[in-house]
Amino acid sequence: MKLNKRKDCPICGNLKVFYLDKFWRCSKCLYQFADPQDKSFTKSYYQEDIGLLVQNVLEGKNPKAYLRKYATLATKTIEQLKKGLRICDIGCGTGAFLLKLEEGGHKVYGYDINRAQAEFARKKNGLRHIRDAQSLRGYCRKVKIRREFFDVITCFEVIEHVLDLNKFIEEVYAYLKPGGIFILSTPNNNRIQMHEKWDYPPIHVSRFKKMNMELLLNKHNFTLKTFKTFNELGYYSGNFIAKMNISHNALEHMVKASTDISSPQKSSRNAQLFMLFSKVKKTACWFLDLPLYLFLNMQKEKGHTMFVVAKKIV
């Protein structure tokens, strides 16, 4: 541990920032950030062909059935607003969430850094406004979208990967209409759980608590409207499974190694195998997962994931 007065906190500007366990930690707002941040890793990491596995699993099935809890919460929030909204999803993946919104009568847009997933969303799921892009500004330039265009911008499990945090929020503000809604989710650094290995740089470069998330939003002229945390089954047994050397990543790399892009039938079988092993892994630790899940859901603001709704103010 050491003090470093040459750096300041990207959120509150505090100079008293110390280094511990691969993160700089602000002593005032408790924000944690990684520096230096490896831009080359970020670009290559999201271009891996895991997107091909995902699309093969989704082929022939209903992609809306795969909505995660944060997407369900966001859908309920949006349903309380008017119809026909312009909604952009940052990191949209294969577009399952946007398909649900389009079905509800909204005009949907989005981008993902992974080309395979963006192409799948556009060609297979029929979401014509989806593109691959590195940033919101880059996406809007690509599809010729003006500033203050969107009514709602969503961002699930993305902000913790962002290298330039302030620039990211500035772009969200720029492309939202006055009074527009920003909905996001990210791991809650106030959760009752040890940090998983993916929660370290260069994969995650930020860790948030309610206090610094609200400071960040206020700094960029957003007001916090909703803050809640939640848990999902399947997260808590992960550390136990990893010690048994049959982690999610190990299974993923095993299947990817045998994936033949030139043979869709073989790729689909491998993807199904991956899903089967993941299900077996989850079932094997059910007796650990369920009691912990029930306990954590009784703890206020201690859930694994934070869900945030903010409003743009002028």
- Tens digits of per-residue pLDDT, 83-140? 999 999 999 988 989 999 999 999 999 999 988 888 888 988 899 999 999 999 999 9
**Is the confidence at residue 225, as pLDDT, over 90?**
yes
What percent of the chain is predicted at pLDDT more than 90? 50
The pLDDT value given to residue 125: 87
Per-residue CA distances from 163 to 50, 168, 169, 277 (Å): 22, 9, 12, 33
CATH number at residue 83: 3.40.50.150
25/167 same-domain check: no
76/130 same-domain check: yes
223/75 same-domain check: yes
Q: Report which DSSP code applies to 266.
A: H
The pLDDT value given to residue 192: 75
285/307 same-domain check: no
199/123 same-domain check: yes
Write out the residue range of the structural domain in which residue 202 sits.
39-231+300-312
The reply to whether 4 falls in a domain is yes
Q: Crossing angle, helix 50-58 and helix 115-123, to 10 degrees?
A: 20
- Tens digits of per-residue pLDDT, 163-198? 899 999 999 999 999 999 999 999 999 987 667 778
d(CA 188, CA 297): 13
d(CA 2, CA 34): 15
How many structural domains is the chain composed of?
A: 3
219/84 same-domain check: yes
165/273 same-domain check: no
Per-residue CA distances from 130 to 101, 103, 107, 154 (Å): 14, 16, 12, 14
* Among 55-64, 90-99, 293-302, the least confident range: 55-64
94/135 same-domain check: yes
The reply to whether 295 falls in a domain is no
